[in-house]
Amino acid sequence: MKIFGLGLSRTGTTSLYLLMESLGYSSRHFIDEWMNGTEADVPQQVLIDTPVPYLYKALDEKYPGSKFILTIRNKESWLESMRWMFVHGKVIWNWPRSTQEYNRKFYKTTRYNKKILSRHYDTYHKEVELYFRDRPGDLLVVDIDKGVSVHEICDFLSIPRQEMAFPRTNERRYASLTERIKYNFPRIFNPY
C-alpha cells in the first residue's frame, strides 16, 4: 500500500514526511522525477508534497488501495506562508526550472498572487473532498492549526499507536543577500 500526502505546499508537508519516517515508513518529500508529469515508479511507501497534489487522481488509479492524507491550515496563514515561499523560499531552495513550471501548471502562477492562490486553495480542497466523498476510509484530513493527533494518523493507517508529537519544521527565514545574488545571477557562480 502506498500513502500519499495531498497537502499543498506550506501545509505541514515536511512535518508529515518526518512523522511518517518516525513511524517506520520509507518516505519521500518532493519527488523530483515526477516534475515533468510522469509518475515513474519510486520505491518509497510514502510520497508527500510536490507534485503529488497535482497527480493524485492518476496515482490513485495506478496504486489502488492507497491511503491519502490531506494536510490543511487556515487559508489566510497559508497565503502569508505562500508569500514567503514565492519571495524567500524559492531563493533559499534555489528552485530549478521544473519547480517554476510545476507552479505554473498547478498553482497557475510563478509569483505570489493572493487572488490566484486564494482561488486555487478553495478549488483544490473542494475537488479533493468531492473526489473522495464516497471513500471516507481512504482520505484523512489533518488540520495542522488545530493540532495533529498522531494517534488519529496511526488509526487511519491501521498501525499500532505511537507516543510521539507531530514534528514542527521548515520554519521561515529570510533569504540572505548572498543567496539572492546566487539565485538571480546563477551564470556568474556556475558558468558551465
pLDDT tens across 30-76, in order?
887 787 666 677 888 999 999 999 999 999 999 999 999 999 999 99
Of the given ranges (25-29, 54-58, 187-191), which has the lowest mean pLDDT? 187-191
Helix (H) or strand (E) run with residue 121 in it: helix 114-131
- Per-residue pLDDT averaged across 127-134, rounded? 98
185 has a pLDDT exceeding 80: no
pLDDT tens across 135-166, in order?
999 999 999 999 889 999 999 999 999 888 88
Backbone angles phi, psi at 139, to 5 degrees: -125, 130
pTM: 0.86
For the chain, the farthest-separated pair of C-alpha atoms sits apart, in whole angstroms, at 54
pLDDT, averaged across the chain = 88
Other CB atoms closer than 10 Å to residue 40's CB: what's the count?
8
pLDDT tens across 100-126, in order?
899 999 999 999 999 999 999 999 999
Cis preceding-peptide flag for 51 (omega within 30 of 0): yes
- Comparing CA positions, the residue from 120, 127, 94, 95 lying closest to residue 106 is 120
Q: What is the pLDDT of residue 128?
A: 98
- Per-residue pLDDT averaged across 131-137, rounded? 96
- Comparing CA positions, the residue from 130, 145, 13 lying closest to residue 69 is 13
Q: What is the pLDDT of residue 95?
A: 83
pLDDT band at 188 (very low <50, low <70, confident <90, very high): low
Sign of the alpha-carbon torsion through 4, 9, 14, 16: negative
Contact 49, 9 (CB under 8 A): yes
- Comparing CA positions, the residue from 28, 4, 10, 33 lying closest to residue 18 is 28
- Comparing CA positions, the residue from 32, 56, 45, 62 lying closest to residue 3 is 45
Beta bridge partners of 4: 47, 68
- Per-residue pLDDT averaged across 93-97, rounded? 83
Q: What is the pLDDT of residue 98?
A: 87
